[in-house]
């Protein structure tokens, strides 16, 4: 979602196109009177470079010439940061209009356009060739002359009620990676209603002489063989994103190792000269690999439906006595997930609602003693099944507990045994702690196949145990694995070679220029690689945590179908 800081100025875009910096609806084309509108919060001069950007857009889309323009100030969002301008049918509709554009705050170039599509009784979409020609002309008009940035119209596809054209940047007859793509969309009446360029790369000048020459790359046939030899796919079980009380069925899938969209290339990309993988040297997969261990689980069931059961669970599993601490119980339901019950122990001060105590676990009221604790137990409200537990300590730096990493790991291993099913369990363990915390991230293997949740972050496992080494307390314990899972047999999976063939049939390898930015030095290094020709259509946003498995696309290991989640 875009974050908007709205500073408002209104003017008529047709008059603006006549080269005024700010204007009102006027009869004289050359006038420059300041806008005066009762509803405006403030009236400010529009930056000259933004004025020029609006002028250029109005010339390309004359329908905007009669609109009132609201200058809204800075925006910051996925793949675009600049200033927003809204196009309203009248001054009265300025706050409600959904038609807007984002311009570069420094250069005034158009970064994103979003106009409301019009419904059509008889759809009048342009033909594929017309759409490509008009999209290319629109982008060429935005660039102006002499930029040397060549684009080709690649695919044309329907997305809901819009017909979208993807434009791909080409240099030396080689495509640039999809950060340089542009998207132009038409509504059912044939209007251009959407445009986007990630991070303004449409306007970035790239000299052909700064790129590696494609003359001595390995052949496409050899690239395919090298790609297959690198075994880029991993067979995994995928579980639903939300914990569910009922039995869930795991998907058997071949996913791409090292991800699809987290870098400027997929995790399977090859150097076009050597045929070796282009995996980033300091990626998590290379710096913090998992180890597989055998855990003999006790198969104990940890359930708390009542206050008494909750206190007993803390005493038996976590060796915590809570009789002297006040206890609050709070229930909440969330979209697409089960209702949760929160058992909250500790003093939070007078007047703090139970719902707020969850977010104030680390906040202690004035007068609390050093070492005072808050505890939080989270269970499935329907089944009572343990989902998570955490403890926060007041002034942990004053703890008298000696920091002991070996002790913490032994405690974590003991707890893992009591959380896992009865008998021998193969578990993938990753240690991800630091000087203060000992963190164990554990994911089971079933039939020798790792089990992951959809959108599961790398910081969390099916079992996550984190101990505060300063205090020796359980900082966080969580269980993301559903209580009952049906796993397809490994024998049902297609052979790895078949899965690779299906993926290559869908997204053949393509010779691609891949940019690798160094944000500290503010430089870009170009690599020439062979990569899968998948080009994403969603907003490029790598904010938030990294996912353990990138399911942007994967091969269904039973049907062989390539599944795309965008």
3-state secondary structure of 12: strand
Q: Where are the alpha helices (DSSP H) in 255-368?
A: 284-287, 307-318, 354-357
The CATH class that applies to domain 128-210 reads: alpha beta
Which helix H or strand E contains 139, and what residues bound it?
A: helix 128-143
> Pairing state of beta strands 248-249 and 485-486?
parallel
Distance of alpha carbon 167 from its chain centroid, rounded? 23
% the chain with pLDDT above 70: 87
**What dihedral do alpha carbons 91, 95, 101, 107 form, nearest 10°?**
80
Q: What is the mean pLDDT of residues 95-123?
A: 91
pLDDT score at 376: 97
CB atoms within 10 A of CB 7: 15
Q: Give yes or no for a contact between 509 and 531, defined as CB atoms under 8 angstroms apart.
A: yes
pLDDT score at 544: 56
Least confident of 125-129, 143-147, 173-177, 458-462: 143-147
Q: Give yes or no for a contact between 391 and 373, defined as CB atoms under 8 angstroms apart.
A: yes
pLDDT score at 47: 81
332 contacts: CB under 8 Å, gap ≥ 6: 339, 340, 342, 355
In tens, the pLDDT along 390-441 reads 999 998 888 788 888 889 999 999 999 999 999 999 999 998 888 889 999 9
Residue with tokens 């160094």: 518
Structural domain boundaries of the chain? 48-114, 128-210, 220-295+488-564, 307-418
Encoded tokens for 18: 């006549």
Q: Check pLDDT > 90 for residue 310.
A: yes
In tens, the pLDDT along 196-239 reads 998 889 999 888 888 999 999 999 999 999 999 999 999 999 99
More confidently predicted of 537 and 219: 219
Q: pLDDT class for 519, splitting at 50, 70, 90?
A: confident
Q: pLDDT class for 243, splitting at 50, 70, 90?
A: low
Encoded tokens for 495: 């052979």
pLDDT score at 280: 63
Q: Give yes or no for a contact between 64 and 85, defined as CB atoms under 8 angstroms apart.
A: no
Q: What is the mean pLDDT of residues 341-364?
A: 94
In tens, the pLDDT along 23-45 reads 323 223 333 333 333 233 333 45
pLDDT score at 36: 30
Encoded tokens for 246: 């009922």
pLDDT score at 402: 85
Residue 561 backbone dihedrals phi, psi, to 5 degrees: -80, 140
Distance of alpha carbon 36 from its chain centroid, rounded? 42
């Amino acid at each position: 979602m875009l974050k908007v800081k709205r500073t408002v100025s209104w003017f008529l875009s047709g008059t603006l196109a006549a080269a005024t910096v700010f204007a009102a609806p006027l009869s004289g084309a050359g006038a420059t009177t300041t806008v005066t509108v009762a509803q405006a919060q403030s009236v400010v001069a529009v930056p000259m470079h933004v004025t020029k950007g609006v002028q250029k857009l109005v010339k390309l889309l004359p329908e905007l010439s009669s609109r009132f323009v609201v200058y809204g100030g800075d925006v910051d969002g996925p793949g675009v940061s600049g200033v927003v301008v809204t196009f309203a049918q009248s001054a009265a509709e300025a706050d409600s209009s959904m038609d807007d554009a984002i311009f570069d705050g420094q250069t005034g170039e158009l970064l994103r356009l979003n106009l409301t599509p019009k419904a059509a009784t008889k759809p009048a979409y342009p033909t594929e060739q017309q759409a490509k020609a008009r999209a290319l002309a629109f982008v060429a008009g935005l660039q102006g002359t002499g930029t040397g940035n060549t684009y080709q119209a690649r695919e044309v596809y329907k997305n809901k009620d819009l017909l979208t054209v993807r434009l791909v940047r080409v240099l030396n007859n080689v495509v640039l990676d999809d950060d340089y793509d542009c998207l132009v969309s038409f509504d059912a009446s044939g209007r251009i209603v959407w445009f986007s360029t990630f991070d303004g790369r449409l306007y970035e000048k790239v000299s052909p002489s700064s790129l590696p020459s494609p003359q001595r790359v390995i052949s496409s046939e050899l690239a395919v063989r090298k790609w297959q030899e690198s075994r880029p796919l991993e067979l995994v079980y995928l579980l639903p994103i939300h914990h569910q009380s009922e039995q869930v069925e795991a998907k058997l899938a071949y996913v791409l190792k090292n991800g699809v969209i987290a870098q400027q290339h997929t995790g399977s990309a090859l150097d076009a000269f050597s045929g070796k993988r282009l995996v980033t040297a300091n990626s998590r997969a290379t710096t913090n690999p998992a180890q597989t261990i055998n855990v003999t689980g006790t198969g104990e069931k940890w359930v708390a439906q009542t206050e008494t059961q909750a206190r007993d669970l803390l005493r038996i599993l976590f060796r915590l006595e809570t009789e002297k601490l006040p206890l609050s119980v709070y229930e909440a339901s969330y979209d697409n997930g089960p209702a949760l019950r929160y058992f909250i122990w500790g003093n939070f001060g007078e007047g703090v609602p139970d719902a707020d105590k969850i977010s104030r676990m680390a906040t202690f009221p004035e007068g609390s003693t050093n070492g005072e604790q808050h505890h939080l137990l989270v269970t499935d409200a329907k089944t009572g099944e343990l989902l998570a537990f955490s403890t926060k300590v007041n002034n942990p730096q004053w703890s008298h507990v000696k920091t002991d990493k070996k002790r913490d790991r032994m405690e974590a291993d003991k707890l893992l045994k009591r959380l896992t099913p009865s008998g021998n369990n193969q578990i993938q363990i990753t240690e991800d702690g630091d000087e203060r915390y000992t963190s164990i991230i554990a994911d089971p293997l079933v039939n020798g196949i790792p089990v992951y949740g959809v959108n599961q972050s790398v910081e969390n496992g099916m079992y996550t145990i984190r101990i505060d080494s300063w205090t020796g307390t359980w900082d966080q314990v969580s269980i993301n694995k559903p209580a009952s899972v049906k796993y397809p047999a490994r024998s049902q999976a297609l052979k790895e070679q078949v899965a690779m063939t299906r993926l290559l049939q869908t997204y053949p390898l393509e010779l691609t220029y891949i940019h690798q930015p160094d944000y500290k030095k503010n430089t870009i290094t170009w690599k020439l690689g062979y990569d899968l020709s998948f080009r994403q259509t969603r907003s490029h946003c790598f904010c938030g945590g990294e996912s353990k498995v990138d399911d942007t696309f994967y091969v269904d290991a039973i049907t062989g179908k390539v599944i795309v989640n965008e």
